[in-house]
Amino acid sequence: MKALIVVDLQNDFVPGGSLAVPRGNEIIPLVNRIQEKFDLVVATQDWHPKNHMSFASNHPGKNVFDTIILGGMEQVLWPDHCLQGEKGAMFVKGFDERRVEAIFRKGTDPEIDSYSGFFDNGRKKSTGLGDYLKGRGIKQVYVCGLAAEFCVLYTALDAIDLGFETYYLEDVTRALSHEGFREAREQVTRRGGHLIVSDEL
């Protein structure tokens, strides 16, 4: 059984949003088109409270894209994004959600960031996604969405760690940087995941 995880296809991550991924909007028709290839489609949603510690605005004197140590881990400071219940956190217009059976929200704890759809960055808290997929008999997981070198990457790496046969859909994602995208693809393969393009589905 194969599942598609659509990661963070939200207004703030496409052009016009506060943490826009260049050309992030281009994947919307592809995400819609490939869903029919899967037994199950789920989505993740970045869902931050206003006092989230990943926001540069909550660290006086710091700038966006500075890094700090948060909970013992390196943390990039982001512009405010995906505020709970606000427009930037909504799924993008044109995303066909009809087949999305469950939505997993992450980044809700103000003290820790959560790139992966499975766990927070410290791996202390699970979203339940892993158990949900296992309960549905899923053995193969395909990951797409935004951003390629952050939430899509860490979702793929955790899927690998949880024992799923994991595929990173390299044409159904966009990255914040070229270098980040290259490194992300390298990490996926090094850790035992697979790179695939949508035409191969």
Check binding of 12 to Zn ion (CB under 5 A).
no
Choice between 46 and 149, CB closer to Zn ion: 46
Choice between 34 and 89, CB closer to Zn ion: 89
Q: How far is the CB of 8 from ligand VGL (least distance, A)?
A: 4
Give the C-alpha distances (Å, rounded to integers) separating 175 from 23, 144, 154, 191.
9, 11, 13, 20
Q: Considering only the stretches 121-129, 135-143, 147-155, 165-173, report the one whose residues sit in contact with ligand VGL under the rule CB under 6 A.
A: 147-155
Check binding of 147 to ligand VGL (CB under 6 A).
yes
By CB under 5 A, name the one of 24, 42, 43, 46 that touches Zn ion. Answer: 46
Check binding of 158 to ligand VGL (CB under 6 A).
no
Check binding of 46 to ligand VGL (CB under 6 A).
yes
Q: Are 145 and 115 in contact (CB under 8 A)?
A: no
Residue 102, classed as helix, strand or coil, is: strand
Q: Which of 149, 190, 193, 187 is nearest to 167 (CA)?
A: 193
Active site members: 8, 106, 151
What is the distance between the alpha carbons of residues 105 and 124, in angstroms, rounded to a whole number?
A: 15
Q: In what order do the strands lie in the sheet with 40-46?
A: 100-106, 40-46, 2-7, 140-145, 165-173, 194-196
Q: How far is the CB of 121 from ligand VGL (least distance, A)?
A: 10
What is the distance between the alpha carbons of residues 51 and 49, in angstroms, rounded to a whole number?
A: 5
CA atoms within 13 A on the CB side of 54: 25
Q: Considering only the stretches 101-109, 161-169, 172-180, 181-189, report the one whose residues sit in contact with Zn ion under the rule CB under 5 A.
A: 101-109
Contact residues for Zn ion, defined by CB under 5 A: 46, 107
Contact residues for ligand VGL, defined by CB under 6 A: 8, 13, 46, 78, 146-147, 150-151
